[in-house]
Every structure is written in structure tokens, then in C-alpha cells.
């Protein structure tokens, strides 16, 4: 493949992906492509496998069948050394930040550098302080995770995720539990990382309104497949009632408010428990 063709190819390609867990079908022929340099949102109701998709992208689990390629490499076919080499080109912002509680902010951000490079401590110090400056927390370098607010923890985790200058940044529910100010900061950082560093970002989120402000493209996943794809504006006008329900946050619709049950009057008058 020529350099031009490689640059135009999607960063991530998922073709007819199938995956089961504990006898439950998670993906039943999932297809999607994530363009290089874009911010792509993966959305959908709870339990549809959005975080599972991130685990498949990083090679933590393997699909039952189908293909998942990252930068042209089929992840499931990589050996241990090749998979670790690919992972070094990825950064991951975990759902609950996942900071190491016994390490300071500085040492949390420095951890991937110390594990994956042979840089001396002087260079590591410079690199870590640069990344903390980028997220506005250089002054918090000596604090411990227990001393941080939720928004500060998320920004430290982002500094750690981007400390090795990855090509691909994966965000698992980055806005969960944040106040409006902290959420705005994280949104801004995701956008700036893409615009300035040219990384590819994949954001798993339930927060439709927030991600719609920065996403270039969105996929809505349900029932093991993509049920909607397009820009946030296009999805808001989708022909699919389920996609429109998800984008608008309507409490009832194709995804019902009530869990399936016996007729209400029958259950009340008949004294049945279920």
C-alpha cells in the first residue's frame, strides 16, 4: 500500500464482527470505520457492548468471527510482541480514571513512560510537566489521587493517556460524574488534542448533547449492530425511531420504559408476584 493510500485508509475498520460473552450475543455482524484524525462517538443504550468494543480494539479479548483492524493490522492475529507494539500507539482514558492510588499525580503520568521507554528521569520530568501543563494541572504534580476532585482525576488520566503521544486515543465514558465546568474542560481537551496533535479519537459515551458539540461522526449501536451512523445533526433527523429516541433522550419508545411483565391488573388482583 502506498503512503497516500495508507493515509486515506480508516484508522479502525470493523467488518462483520461477532462476539459472545457468557452465552449472550454482544455483536452480531458489527460494521464500522473510523477515519484518521476524526473524533468518532460510539453511542447506544446501556449494555450494548460499547466498552466491549474498546476491549476488542486493544486486543484484551478476541472476536468470535469477523475482522477488526487498527491501522491495517488485524488485532486478533497479532502475537504478544506485535500487540504490545500496537498498544504503545494507543492511549486509554478509563471510565473511572483508574489512577494508581499510591502514586502521586506526577508518578501516575510518568508510569507509561518508565514502563515503555529508556528515557532518563530528567527527560521524563520535562515530558510529564509538559503534559500536566496541557491539562492545566502542572501545579498539582505532587498531589495524591485522593486529594483530587473528579474533574481533576479525569484530566490527570488524560495527561497519562497522551504522555507517549499516541496515534489513537480511546475514551470510555469520559464525562461520567463530572460537573458542567469539568465536563467543559474535558470536552475542550478532547477537541484540542485532535486539532493540535492530529490524533484519532474514539469516544464511548451516553452524553449525546455534549459529544454532539465536538464529534465529527457518530455510530449508534444496539442489538449487536450499528443502527444509525452520521453526523450528530444527521442522526437527530434519522428515519429510525430508536435512533431518534436515543438522540432525544425520550423515556419511552422502541426502548420501552417498562420491563416486560404480566398484565398489571391481572398481577395486582390475582396476587401474583410475577
Number of domains in the chain: 1
**In the structure, what pLDDT confidence band is assigned to residue 191 with cuts at 50, 70 and 90?**
very high
Residue 251 lies in a domain: yes
Domain that holds residue 10: 3-89+166-270
The pLDDT value given to residue 7: 57
| Across 34-38, 182-186, 187-191, 242-246, least confident range | 242-246
Rounded distance between C-alpha atoms, residue 6 and residue 142, angstroms: 42
> Is residue 113 in some structural domain?
no
| 97 occurs within a structural domain | no
Domain assignment present for residue 100? The answer is no
* CATH code (residue 80): 3.40.50.300
Cα 14 to Cα 272: distance, rounded to the nearest angstrom? 47
Interval 66-84 mean pLDDT = 94
The reply to whether 127 falls in a domain is no
Nearest to 189 by CA among 167, 174, 173: 174
For residue range 132-169, list pLDDT tens digits in order: 999 999 999 999 999 999 899 999 999 999 999 999 99
Find the farthest-apart pair of alpha carbons in the chain and give their distance in angstroms, rounded.
75
pLDDT greater at residue 62 or residue 210: 62
236-253 pLDDT, tens digit each: 787 777 787 777 666 666
**Is there a domain that residue 140 lies in?**
no
Task: Please tell me what DSSP assigns to residue 54.
Answer: H
Give first-to-last CA distance, the chain, whole Å.
60
- Tell me the C-alpha distance between 122 and 125, whole Å: 5
In whole angstroms, what is the distance from residue 134 CA to residue 138 CA? Answer: 8
The CB-side HSE value for 28 (13 A sphere, CA atoms) comes to 9
Q: Is residue 256 a part of any domain in this protein?
A: yes
Amino acid at each position: 500500500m502506498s503512503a497516500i493510500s495508507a493515509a486515506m485508509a480508516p484508522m479502525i475498520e470493523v467488518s462483520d464482527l461477532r462476539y459472545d460473552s457468557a452465552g449472550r450475543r454482544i455483536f452480531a455482524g458489527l460494521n464500522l470505520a473510523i477515519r484518521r484524525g476524526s473524533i468518532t462517538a460510539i453511542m447506544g443504550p446501556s449494555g450494548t457492548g460499547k466498552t466491549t468494543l474498546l476491549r476488542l480494539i486493544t486486543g484484551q479479548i478476541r472476536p468470535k468471527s469477523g475482522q477488526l483492524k487498527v491501522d491495517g493490522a488485524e488485532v486478533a492475529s497479532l502475537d504478544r510482541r506485535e500487540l504490545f507494539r500496537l498498544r504503545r500507539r494507543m492511549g486509554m482514558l478509563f471510565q473511572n480514571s483508574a489512577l494508581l492510588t499510591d502514586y502521586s499525580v506526577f508518578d501516575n503520568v510518568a508510569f507509561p513512560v518508565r514502563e515503555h521507554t529508556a528515557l532518563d528521569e530528567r527527560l521524563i520530568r520535562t515530558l510529564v510537566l509538559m503534559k500536566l501543563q496541557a491539562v492545566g494541572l502542572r501545579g498539582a504534580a505532587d498531589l495524591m489521587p485522593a486529594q483530587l476532585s473528579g474533574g481533576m482525576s479525569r484530566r490527570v488520566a488524560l495527561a497519562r493517556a497522551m504522555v507517549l503521544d499516541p496515534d489513537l486515543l480511546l475514551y470510555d465514558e469520559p464525562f461520567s460524574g463530572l460537573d458542567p465546568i469539568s465536563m467543559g474542560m474535558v470536552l475542550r481537551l478532547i477537541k484540542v488534542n485532535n486539532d493540535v496533535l492530529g490524533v484519532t479519537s474514539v469516544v464511548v459515551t451516553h452524553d449525546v448533547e455534549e459529544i454532539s458539540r465536538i464529534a465529527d461522526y457518530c455510530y449508534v449501536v444496539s442489538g449487536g449492530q450499528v443502527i444509525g451512523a452520521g453526523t450528530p445533526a444527521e442522526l437527530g433527523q434519522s428515519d429510525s425511531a430508536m435512533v431518534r429516541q436515543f438522540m432525544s433522550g425520550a423515556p419511552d419508545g422502541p426502548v420501552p420504559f417498562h420491563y416486560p411483565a404480566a398484565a398489571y391488573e391481572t398481577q395486582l388482583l390475582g396476587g401474583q408476584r410475577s
